[in-house]
Amino acid sequence: MREIAFREALREAMQEEMRTDERVFILGEEVAEYNGAYKVTQGMLDEFGEKRVIDTPIAELGFAGIAVGAAMNGLRPICEFMTFNFSLVAIDQVINSAAKMNSMSDGQFTCPMVFRGPTGSAGQLAQQHSQNFENWYANTPGLKVVVPSNPADAKGLLKTAIRDENPVIFMESEQMYGFKGEVPEGEYTIPIGVADVVKQGEDVTIVSFGKMMLRCHDALKALESEGINAELIDLRTVRPIDYDTVIESVKKTNRLVVVEEAWPLASISSELSHIVQKRAFDYLDAPVHRVTSMDTTLPYASTFVEAYLPSVERIVKACKEVTYKG
């Protein structure tokens, strides 16, 4: 199977959908003339023209509102934020317009649209450019929230998101745009709300999503050397969450470690911890452990960045603690 970069997989998804559906267009800062801040939209202006690949001013609230209005009137916009940190400027349109429009209009209007862009830490970008808001958006009824961890999932999930009748938040890791992986040839989609059991195991279940899946893969190797056979689940989407897949895994392994890049309070790992103790309490042989970023804003110094983020060592430690091998 061919290997392509994360950014190329995203581009293919958008190009294929734009070729088959003239209602689909993309707008955002530097998506056209500059070929995208991260070169995700490279070449798309040449193919689709300035009416469907639109450079916007640095005004997230404004162009998010334009995208919502376009979706309400039958188009299918892809609204790119240069980073989801900047989506806070537009969050009123995302939450109070896009997410609620179908309900407020009693079904007269839908908002089939995608808000996409990078999320989380990308090295030494300091406090205002390194935040994770997956759990913020996942807290909102009316939105779907997707966080892919590899190029194949990125393409299949983005195609599904573009076709969805609901607004979808599609979050990508800035550090993974150059990451390469196998991507199938031809047409395929991946359903939203279905987790992927990446590796079978029997000693402990590790659940994660997005960029943290890379650290979980590294942790698996370290755990194997310690004699721990872990099962690894990639959520792929955090609204809706595939609770059933996680519960079935916990019933088998009797232990759960959740890894995510966001802050610990009111996080996706908090939600999973609650649901698992509610639905699978009798199967647990140890408390659920969480590995998250530290509960502070992200410093600039590279040494602090690594101390702030979930590490392989912290993941391994959590797994050893719940298996009583620590």
Render pLDDT for 87-104 as a digit per residue (tens, 0 to 9): 999 999 999 999 999 999
Local confidence band at 299 (pLDDT 50, 70, 90 cut-offs): confident
Residues annotated as part of the active site: 60, 129
What does the pLDDT read at residue 1? 86
Q: Is the predicted pLDDT of residue 286 greater than 80, yes or no?
A: yes
Same fold, 3-182 and 196-322: yes
pLDDT tens for 222-258 read 999 999 999 999 999 999 999 999 999 999 999 999 9
DSSP labels for 164-210? Answer: -SS-EEEEEEGGGTT-EEE--SS-----TT--EEEE--SSEEEEE-T
Q: What is the mean pLDDT of residues 115-124?
A: 89
- Percentage of the chain exceeding pLDDT 70: 100
Instruction: Please give the average per-residue pLDDT across 129-151, as a whole number.
Output: 95
> Among 154, 191, 190, 196, which Cα is nearest to 171's?
154
pTM given for the model: 0.96
- CATH code for the domain defined by 3-182: 3.40.50.970
Tokens of residue 212, six digits: 């943290």
- What gap in Å lies between CA 65 and CA 90, rounded to an integer? 8
Residue whose pair of structure tokens reads 């792929």 in the numeric block: 236
Both structure tokens of 71: 């979706």
Class of domain 196-322: alpha beta
Report the pLDDT value the prediction gives residue 326, as an integer from 0 to 100.
63
CA distance 167 to 79: 11
**Does residue 140 have a pLDDT over 70?**
yes
Q: Does 128 score more than 80 pLDDT?
A: no
User: What residues does each domain of the chain span?
Assistant: 3-182, 196-322
Could you count the other beta carbons within 10 Å of the beta carbon of residue 203?
A: 19
Judge whether residue 126 has pLDDT over 80.
Answer: no
Q: What is the pLDDT of residues 11-52, one digit of tens each?
A: 999 999 999 999 999 999 999 999 999 999 999 999 999 999
